[in-house]
Amino acid sequence: MSELITILSHNLWLFSAIAFIFAAVIGSFLNVVIHRLPVMMKREWQQECNQYLNEYHKELVAPISKKLERAIDDYPEKYNLIVPGSACPKCKTDIKPWHNLPVIGWLMLRGKCASCSTAISARYPIIELLTGLAVAFLALHFGPTWEFACATLLTFVLMALTGIDLDEMLLPDQLTLPLLWFGLLINLNGTFTSGSDALIGAAAGYLSLWSVFWAFKLLTGKDGMGYGDFKLLAVFGAWFGWQLLPLIILLSSIVGAVVGIMLIISKKLNHGNPIPFGPYIALAGWIAMIWGSDINAWYLSTL
């Protein structure tokens, strides 16, 4: 094992190429997570809702649960991240293993289902490609180290969170909270920052956006963000320490404003429509992971 690590650390481009392939394959699974986790969550909510109605408002059960069922009954009863296998949403033909190959599968099919020619969204290969490139870059940046393994795991979960937030305006606790605890644990021995900076970072990350949320709500009566956004910022505080939080907030606001203005100009977004903030925090946090300390040092030295 240690010999292999020595070889890879002397051949970073080889390591990076292996990392790319591995991450693209995981990216293909992340597409499944992005698509299915929200469906699984909605099912759970429906069950909880039914339970509540059965206990307290029996007269409402029949009409409401019919409506709820109709919203998600397109999916088979047993439905999780593994079962059933991937199939075309239109003609239900199973997708062949070689068509599941990241990026290549989509190119082989030329973006269409093999049997009914329904278009397959370009988002699938894009997510596979982005995941592969991001992790290949991490491989060059960190080399074959424990930091690389952690940063790769973080990148995978961030990719899933970004996709789900774009689709559903949701950042599931099932993804943010384990990431938060994991970040606190790996910093007990100072993987990215000291344990105390990580702990303060987690609390400060959550509480800063939480305060902004309540100030905004008291002033305007509107919700500007969701609780998932606070938790995601807490994740970055836990992973990289409180010192990077101002930079992450600044970067995500800049990127968010630029994208928002572009969307308004291109008329894809009306003023006042909610836009998910999670993807911007995720991107800003990822950039801060790589260059945050450098940017902070540069900023402090120019002061």
Chain residues binding Zn ion by CB under 5 A are: 88, 90-91, 113, 116, 118
Least CB distance to Zn ion at residue 90 (A): 5
Shortest spacing between CB 44 and Zn ion, in angstroms: 29
Residue/partner pairs of 151-155 with CB below 8 Å, 24 or more apart: 151/289, 152/19, 152/23, 153/182, 154/179, 154/183, 154/239, 154/286, 154/289, 155/23, 155/131, 155/286
Minimum distance, C-beta of residue 113 to Zn ion, in the bound complex (Å)? 3
DSSP assignment of 142-191, as one string? H-SSHHHHHHHHHHHHHHHHHHHHHHHS---HHHHHHHHHHHHHHGGGTS
Closer residue to Zn ion in complex, CB, 88/203: 88
**Beta-bridge partners for 119:** 112
Tokens of residue 285, six digits: 């946090």
- Residue whose CB is less far from Zn ion, 112 or 217: 112
For residue 72, the minimal CB distance to Zn ion (Å) is 21
Residue 96 C-beta: closest distance to Zn ion, Å = 12
Nearer to Zn ion, 15 or 124 (CB): 124
Nearer to Zn ion, 95 or 166 (CB): 95
Q: Which is nearer to Zn ion, 119 or 185 (CB)?
A: 119
Distance CA(49)–CA(253), nearest Å, equals 36
> What are 149's two structure tokens?
């393994």
